[in-house]
Chain A
């Protein structure tokens, strides 16, 4: 005890030293975070108000980039936004319900629960570039599995140049994206389902509820925060999508499958329009935060 008393006053004294230590502990993280994320975003915000080719000094043009983004047909922003929102729609209304179904079923202690869980999660771990290459082999018009299969079942008329036709290209991107991440959302929801106390389930069953009723009225309300997280991830993930588009279609045919991130890259490398590229990245930040806020607000409202 005597020692503790002796220590206390000493700690109070060197406040400056403590502040310096805190600063030093935080320094590496702050350097990385500010240098690579915060400062660049501030620069993006500033540059998005300029006409700028990346090298000569930019000229201030106010909100013209944003105006052009939404009104000019040649930038394809509206197409890109529509495509990523469509992807978000399918993620939320096809992928998540299916993931929830799998999570609820696996939560009921079927034999092989661990095996199925591990298999369903596996595609999440594989690089999207690898996934994209595999699906290219499935979609290949001459030798791909899909067209070969259609020949086999005498549905040759259904064959398509899947990633090369305007009608099918976007669908060809949406299908593997949804397929790959079902396991991710399933895992999060499964963790939630497993966290529900078995006593609750048993009590409800004793009252005569069926498994489905227990899921509907006991489990789902409890895992709502996780569902909310999943919806946010699904929507922001769709807005940020890049890899599969680059691999499968390169934004084509006729730029019909562009998404915001591929447009952003085009602005840098094909058009030297760095100001416009900055405007696109600012729009992406705004959209991601706006959707995240709106979605959590919707979930909160429902609770009350």
Chain B
């Protein structure tokens, strides 16, 4: 047996070629990120000629100060956190409640309701932008945090319900029965039994929704025109418009917008990958 399997192992040449491919592609993926971190700390002289791709010779932390001060990145960071956290909270709560009604209460319309919510997976966000924009502007409701929070919660809802369903059907149905015998109503069962058992689902949904909201650009760009409520992606676009010739602060702004994601990814890479797989493969 041993001999047989070793003879079946890939030839060394193939192995070397595969590693070359993997390493080159890894380099192509890592290089832009390395480039971003280094030019965030360089002066224009270094970026434009002396030292294009090396490590910075002089570490210019003042780029970050400039991005915070003239670029307002601190405020935009706060806005992004606020909008993202609120959207995730609303989306998760609404999704857990809806999924509970769909999967754990027996009634006729359950599967139809589920199919209805799943339509949201295919509908492009663009579909609703015109009417929502008109309604919001008539109500003078553009340029608020809620202008983004409500649509973001709605757009992440279908995926949240999909992921939630995957987790909720795994919970034994005997628990509901037992809770009912002990005198818990539907709401008691939901809050005391189901919600605590959904903790693993929360991180999966949370990660997925975080990335959707944190990086969303189109709605933020269309709905937010004042600088006080900009989120990071819109803020970066504005900053790059002001500083067309000064690359350092732009690099710093890009780093500010990206490092939370990268830090979380370093520690939770498997969890993050799993949440993307849960979102796509189960659907």
Contacts and interface: CB of A to CB of B under 8 A. Distances in A.
Contact of B117 (A33, A120, A226): A33
Interface stretch (A67-75, A86-94, A159-167, A238-246): A238-246
Interface stretch (B61-69, B98-106, B165-173, B198-206): B98-106
Contact of B247 (A30, A137, A280): A137
A124 B207 CA distance: 13
A246 B218 CA distance: 9
A94 to B, nearest CB: 14
Interface in A238-272: 239-240, 242-243, 246-247, 260-261, 264-265, 268-269
Contacts of A121: 269, 273, 276
Contact of A127 (B30, B214, B276): B214
A25 interface: yes
B47 interface: yes
A145 B52 contact: yes
A158 interface: no
Contacts of B120: 33, 37
Given A21-B187, A192-B281, A242 B218 contact: yes
Contacts of A27: 97
A264 B132 CA distance: 14
A285 B124 contact: yes
B217 A127 contact: yes
A274 interface: yes
A292 interface: yes
A240 B186 contact: no
B222 A268 contact: yes
A218 interface: no
How many B residues touch the partner, as a band?
35 or more
Contacts of B21: 105
The SS class assigned to the A binding surface is: helix
Contacts of B116: 33
A85 interface: no
Nearest to B156: A32
A129 B215 contact: yes
Interface in B10-44: 10, 15, 18-19, 21-22, 25-26, 28-30, 32-33, 35-36, 39
Given A110-B22, A148-B52, A187-B277, A7 B181 contact: yes
Contact of B127 (A29, A229, A285): A285
Given A22-B107, A129-B215, A243-B218, A288 B122 contact: yes
Nearest to B214: A127
B209 interface: no
A196 interface: no
A242 B221 CA distance: 11
Contacts of A300: none
Contact of A134 (B32, B155, B277): B32
A3 interface: yes
A243 B95 CA distance: 28
Interface in A207-260: 210-211, 226, 229, 233, 236, 239-240, 242-243, 246-247, 260
Given A25-B100, A40-B128, A110-B18, A143 B48 contact: yes
Given A110-B19, A188-B280, A40 B215 contact: no
A18 B132 CA distance: 34
B72 interface: no
A229 B280 contact: yes
A125 B161 contact: no
B39 A137 contact: yes
Contact of A243 (B4, B217, B254): B217
Contacts of B276: 121, 124, 184, 187-188
B233 A179 contact: no
A276 to B, nearest CB: 10
A44 interface: yes
Contacts of A47: 130-131
Contacts of A18: 105, 107, 186
A26 interface: yes
A26 B103 CA distance: 12
Contact of B186 (A21, A137, A183): A21
6 contacts: A29-B157, A36-B132, A37-B127, A246-B217, A268-B222, A285-B124
Interface of B: 4-5, 8, 10, 15, 18-19, 21-22, 25-26, 28-30, 32-33, 35-36, 39, 47-49, 52-53, 90-91, 93-95, 97-98, 100-101, 105, 107, 113, 116-117, 120, 122-134, 137, 150-151, 153-155, 157-158, 161, 180-181, 186-187, 190, 211, 214-215, 217-218, 221-222, 232-233, 236-237, 240, 247, 250, 254, 257-258, 261-262, 265, 269, 272-273, 276-277, 280-281, 283
Given A36-B154, A268-B133, 14 more contacts: A21-B187, A25-B101, A28-B93, A33-B116, A37-B128, A43-B130, A102-B22, A105-B18, A108-B10, A119-B29, A133-B250, A133-B254, A205-B8, A206-B4
